[in-house]
Amino acid sequence: MSEKISDLLERAAARTVPVVRALDDEQLGLPTPCGAYDVRALAGHLYRVVITFQGLAAKEDADMGAGPLELTGDWRAGFAGEARALVAAGVRPGAEDGTAGAMGMPARTAGVMVLGDLVVHGWDLARATGRPYAYAQDDAVVEDVARQFAELAPLARSMGAFGPEVEVPPGAPALDRLLGVTGRDPGWRAPARSGGRARAGS
4 touches 167 (CB < 8 A)? no
For the segment 75-118, what is each residue's pLDDT rounded down to a tens digit? 999 999 999 999 998 888 777 788 776 667 788 888 888 999 99
Residue 174 clears pLDDT 50, i.e. is over it: yes
Whole-angstrom distance, CA of residue 144 vs CA of residue 43: 24
Model confidence band, residue 46 (pLDDT cutoffs 50, 70, 90): very high
Model confidence band, residue 146 (pLDDT cutoffs 50, 70, 90): confident
Identify the H or E element spanning 79.
helix 75-91
pLDDT of residue 102: 61
Q: What is the mean pLDDT of the segment spanning 178-201?
A: 72
Whole-angstrom distance, CA of residue 39 vs CA of residue 37: 7
